[in-house]
Chains A and B, each alone.
Chain A
Amino acid sequence: KAGVTQTPRYLIKTRGQQVTLSCSPISGHRSVSWYQQTPGQGLQFLFEYFSETQRNKGNFPGRFSGRQFSNSRSEMNVSTLELGDSALYLCASSLVSRGLLGSYSPLHFGNGTRLTVT
């Protein structure tokens, strides 16, 4: 079974531009969550999608957005890029929604997209 696939692996953008990152979950997984990892802040939760609906959002500005398609693939978009947005962006998929109490399933992470903003 193929793992979680994130594209692209590396991206270089300039300040003010926008960027779209893609995540294809493991086949059959309907929950996709996104995370930002920086040396200073570590890993931080961005948002989670389940069945095309955003179920939860972390403390990030509105420049960070996402969506999920009917095939469970997800994209995240960052508009008006800032230098501080340089980070490793990771997505993870799981079988069921993270929010159904008692129905937790393990997370499967992709290898991430390393975004550099210059």
Chain B
Amino acid sequence: KNEVEQSPQNLTAQEGEFITINCSYSVGISALHWLQQHPGGGIVSLFMLSSGKKKHGRLIATINIQEKHSSLHITASHPRDSAVYICAVSLVTQGGSEKLVFGKGTKLTVNP
């Protein structure tokens, strides 16, 4: 079983729809990241959070540490939101350094 599970794997929406992508993890973490990857490979860090909720424009990320679950919401979706969204968790090793473990990603397509 992967340490980080994302759902759904693929998501198609119509412009304007409210979108939710889910991420569950099975280990203790120090932080959770939401990343966006467009075709061509470049990755943008959207959020880094360890508790509660963060909002940036039309994007909202929430995390529930007790339930080991995070969600990424996109309000009023637009075709330019089409990308792969990746959840990653920060695991702190015994040596005190950190490594990131990634989910498989959710491919979002927003049609006009």
Contacts and interface: CB of A to CB of B under 8 A. Distances in A.
B92 A45 contact: no
Interface in A1-46: 33, 35, 37, 42-45
A30 to B, nearest CB: 14
B92 A104 contact: no
Contact of A45 (B33, B41, B100): B100
Given A111-B42, A112-B41, A112-B42, A42 B95 contact: no
A8 to B, nearest CB: 13
Main secondary structure of the interface of A (DSSP, over half): strand
Interface string A85-114: 000101010000111010010111111101
A63 interface: no
Given A98-B90, A101-B30, A48 B43 contact: no
A74 to B, nearest CB: 16
A104 B42 contact: no
A56 B45 contact: no
B90 A45 contact: no
B104 A107 contact: no
Contacts of A98: 90, 97-100
A48 B90 CA distance: 13
- Sorted nearest first, the 8 A-B pairs with minimum C-beta distance are A99-B97, A98-B98, A109-B43, A43-B102, A56-B97, A55-B97, A112-B41, A111-B42
